[in-house]
Amino acid sequence: MRVILASASPRRRELLEMLRVPQLEIVPALGEELPHPGLAPAELVCALSRAKAEEVAGRCAGPGDLVLGADTVVALDGAVLGKPRDPEDACRMLRALSGRAHRVYTGVTAIRDGRCLSCAEETAVHFRELDDGEIRRYVATGEPLDKAGAYGAQGLASLFVERLEGDFFNVMGLPLCALGRLLRELGVTLL
């Protein structure tokens, strides 16, 4: 069985490799992420992860193949923070997150032999107070520019995270426990 990850995220790839997923292939979805106004963050990430998985499954999955799609957003006071448009947008997001708790949502969709299952995971992340100088220095590293909410908890921004409530791997972009449950429902075991 091939496992096809419908994502170009190096973090998601690393997590699946950590789990020793056999026959892992990376086939990023080609479609543009379309806005879904009115959806709650958990619903949004499920819709986006499903769209990615369905697009890749339709393009290159064969019998028995497993296709995984995922999408992550950061939400502050119910407002979704996606990837920053530019360094100034990243600074704005990090200033808003400074000294506050926010939520990270990741939707995961698994498709195998016509069955499609999706779920969303939510993790609360508490940031310490950040000063403008460290925000600018962090943004200057380039690390936050391709990440939802303008930070990577597994990288330099780990210096900002006081605590998490929920799945740490969710904050990295792939909630592994939830993924394991989806795979089990599809008859796939990793252990």
For the chain, the domain total comes to 1
pLDDT, position 32: 66
pLDDT, position 189: 86
Q: What is the CATH number of the domain that holds 14?
A: 3.90.950.10
pLDDT, position 1: 84
**What tens digit of pLDDT does each residue of 34-45 get?**
667 789 999 999
In a domain? residue 24: yes
For the cut 80, the answer to whether the pLDDT of residue 52 exceeds it is yes
**What tens digit of pLDDT does each residue of 66-112 get?**
999 999 999 999 899 988 999 999 999 999 999 999 999 999 999 99
In a domain? residue 153: yes
In a domain? residue 168: yes
In a domain? residue 115: yes
In a domain? residue 190: no
Query: Looking at residues 132-148, what average pLDDT do you find?
Result: 95
Q: Residue 124 is part of which domain span?
A: 3-185
Q: In sequence order, what are the residues at sequence separation of 6 or more whose Cβ sits closer than 8 angstroms to the Cβ of residue 32?
A: none
Residue listed under structure tokens 């380039």: 142
Record the tokens describing residue 37, joined without a space. Answer: 């106004």
Tell me which residues are annotated as active site.
71
In a domain? residue 142: yes
Q: Give the pTM.
A: 0.91
**What tens digit of pLDDT does each residue of 53-69 get?**
999 999 998 999 999 99
pLDDT, position 78: 87
For the cut 90, the answer to whether the pLDDT of residue 190 exceeds it is no
Do 31 and 52 meet the contact criterion of CB atoms below 8 Å apart?
yes
For the cut 80, the answer to whether the pLDDT of residue 155 exceeds it is yes
Do 53 and 110 meet the contact criterion of CB atoms below 8 Å apart?
yes
What average pLDDT is seen over the chain? 94
In a domain? residue 82: yes
Q: How far apart are CA 76 and CA 70, in angstroms?
A: 20
Torsion, CA 148, CA 17, CA 123, CA 168, rounded to 10? -110
For the cut 90, the answer to whether the pLDDT of residue 33 exceeds it is no
Q: Say if strands 3-5 and 66-76 run parallel, antiparallel, or are unpaired.
A: parallel
In a domain? residue 191: no
